[in-house]
Amino acid sequence: MTTLPATIREVHRGLQAKEFSAAELAAQTLERIASQEPRLGAFLRVREQVMAEAQAVDERLASGEPLRPLEGVTLAVKDNMTIKGEEATAASKVLTGYRGVATATAVARLRTAGALVVGKTNLDEFAMGASTENSAFQPTKNPWNTSVVPGGSSGGSAVAVAASEAVLAIGSDTGGSIRQPASFCNVVGMKPTYGRVSRYGLIALASSLDQIGPFARTVEDAAHVYQAMAGVDEHDATTSSQLVADVVAGLGESIADMRIGIPAEFFGAGVDPQVAATVMSAAKVYESLGAKLVNVSLPLAPQALATYYIIQPAEASSNLARYDGIRFGPSVRTKAGLEQIYRQSREQGFGTEVKRRIMIGTFVLSAGYADAYYHQAIRVRHMLREEFDRIFDEVDVLLTPTSPTVAFPLGARTQDPLTMYLADLLTVPANLANIPAMSIPGGFIDGLPVGVQLMSREWDEATLFRAGHAYQQVTDWHRRVPE
Ligand code: GLN
């Protein structure tokens, strides 16, 4: 093969025409990763085991078994999801050497569909961040310009797809961690409705917000990955037993008469006017396809960021209480007593941002402050959900920028947590409202990609994928690759 296949279709075409075997594809992908990693740092670990797994795919096909939906397709997995017996660190020193006791349901389902996991990708420690610079191990660079960040926290997964180190990737999105790096790297990234994809085997950040979702070059491929992962799981009580619609089958349906809401609050204060203008051109593309643009208002949306930065640290601080140096990862051995083992293991194991969130979270939950902060934030979240519910009586999808700016320089925001948090301005509303949302490539400013965010009502991923796919049928931003 001269160039690596970029989509599921291309992989399947090549396998069926016997242009390459799964083992050849896996070997060339590992070579590609080896050549790109010194420059990009997207992976924390590569899986040599993938070679044997690819050979098993070739044997299946040789024995005449039918092609499964993701047969032989390379997949990169964010390192906050577990594979039984293999290391998973969430990019934290606290989990160095930790091995998964089971395989995450999302990963297991993708492997059952035939996907080949080539490696585990870098992230901000415990998925806290918007640049992948909070990784305890390495920063990841943006393949469009290695002096800017790839976004985060799933920066490694976004870069893996953007730099052709894998055809597909998965990440987790608590406040934008799939969509924002997708927008910075010119790939598709999608967060399902809360409860659609099992969180079993996902190292928890904020349990009422976390969802696993796909990265791909095309909306069609993202739909395949979503479909393979979605649905009830006995290991996660928050998964819904609602029927998962066949989103792939619905992709080609017309979007004429689709009502697309343009919420004013997502184009104003804090949003780069050039980004806003680029995203409005994408809206015009929809209009040319017969969709109807509707100006709408979500007055509570500007409160979403402050609300998120109370609820998220609150849940994170309680989830992270388990890392005490006893059950997971390295332990500081001291004769000074159990209390000191806890203290020193946590002091040495956690990075600065994680400690900051543990302190914020503990504060907003503490007696005397919980009413003023945590409980108040929960009320605002309910009101925001109701506001989104009402808007979807008027429109089918919402269209906004994914991020207020294009990718920023490495180091530019690491000393100033508040400006780092502002990167999440436009993505956190969907997590607080539990609704599905997606970022698709929508243009460039000075050589850096701009993402267009689409959101739809709860459980209506089908409409979201259909809208995204329609845009990719008439644009070619997603076909542009770095270098
Ligand atoms: N940037 C956001 C944060 O740091 C979102 C993270 C995420 O979605 N995991 O909280």
pLDDT per residue rounded down to tens, the chain (483 residues): 778 999 999 999 999 999 999 999 999 999 999 999 999 999 999 999 999 999 999 999 999 999 999 999 999 999 999 999 999 999 999 999 999 999 999 999 999 999 999 999 999 999 999 999 999 999 999 999 999 999 999 999 999 999 999 999 999 999 999 999 999 999 999 999 999 999 999 999 999 999 999 999 999 999 999 999 999 999 999 999 988 999 999 999 999 999 999 999 999 999 999 999 999 999 999 999 999 999 999 999 999 999 999 999 999 999 999 999 998 888 888 898 999 999 999 999 999 999 999 999 999 999 999 999 999 999 999 999 999 999 999 999 999 999 999 999 999 999 999 999 999 999 999 999 999 999 999 999 999 999 999 999 999 999 999 999 999 999 999 999 998
Gap between the Cα atoms of 72 and 197, Å rounded:
22
Residue 240 located in a structural domain: yes
**Whole-angstrom Cα distance, residue 87 to residue 97?**
6
Domain assignment of residue 106, yes or no: yes
The answer to whether position 211 is within a domain reads yes
Query: Which SS3 state, helix, strand or coil, does residue 420 take?
Result: helix
What is the predicted pLDDT for the residue at 47? 98
From 21, 131, 135, 153, active-site residue: 153
Whether residue 403 has a cis bond before it, omega within 30° of 0? no
Helix or strand run (H / E) with residue 105 = helix 105-112
| CATH number reported for the structural domain that contains residue 112 in this entry | 3.90.1300.10
Query: Is residue 421 assigned to a domain?
Result: no
Q: How far apart are CA 76 and CA 405, in angstroms?
A: 26
Sign of CA dihedral 55, 35, 97, 116: negative
- The CB-based long-range contact list for 129-133 (8 Å cut-off, 24+ gap) reads 129/153, 129/353, 129/420, 130/176, 130/177, 130/180, 130/413, 130/420, 130/421, 130/423, 130/424, 131/155, 131/408, 131/410, 131/413, 131/414, 131/420, 131/423, 132/156, 132/181, 133/410, 133/411, 133/414
Distances in Å between the Cα of 357 and the Cα atoms of 87, 124, 126, 133 are: 25, 13, 11, 16
Token pair, residue 12, equals 């399947």
91 touches 112 (CB < 8 A): no
Quote the CA–CA distance of 117 and 149 in Å, as a whole number.
25
Which atom number of ligand 1 is nearest to the Cα of residue 177?
8
Give 231-253 pLDDT, tens digit per residue: 999 999 999 998 899 999 999 99
The length of the chain in residues reads 483
Q: Is the pTM of this model over 0.75?
A: yes
Q: Point out the catalytic residue in the list 131, 177, 183, 403.
A: 177
Residue 66 sits in which domain range?
8-257+468-479
State the chain's maximal CA–CA distance in angstroms: 72
Question: Can 78 be counted among the known catalytic residues?
Answer: yes
In the reported structure, the alpha carbon of residue 174 is separated from the centroid of ligand 1 by a whole-number distance in angstroms of: 6
| Structural domain count of the chain | 1
User: Ligand 1 atom 5: the closest Cα is on which residue?
Assistant: 175
Atom nearest to 431 CA in ligand 1:
8
Residue 31 belongs to some domain of the structure: yes
Nearest to 364 by CA among 323, 319, 321, 316: 316
Which residues, judged by CB distance below 6 Å to any ligand atom, belong to the binding site of ligand 1? 127-130, 153, 173-177, 205, 312, 424
- Catalytic residue flag (residue 191): no
- Residue 220, beta-bridge partner list: none
Decide: 173 and 154 in contact? Cβ < 8 Å: yes
- Does the annotation mark 208 as catalytic? no
CA of 32 to the centre of ligand 1 (A): 29
What is the Å distance from ligand 1's center to 128 Cα? 5
Residue 218 located in a structural domain = yes
Q: Give, as one character, the DSSP assignment of residue 82.
A: -
CA of 157 to the centre of ligand 1 (A): 15
Does 319 reside within a domain? no
Residue 189: CB partners within 8 Å, gap ≥ 6? 154, 158, 171, 173, 178, 179, 180, 181, 182, 183, 213, 214, 215, 222, 438, 439, 451
Ligand 1 centroid to Cα of residue 154, in Å, is 9
Q: Which of 180, 312, 319, 428 to mutate to test the pocket of ligand 1 (most atoms within 8 A of CB)?
A: 312
Q: Which atom of ligand 1 is nearest to the CA of 308?
A: 10
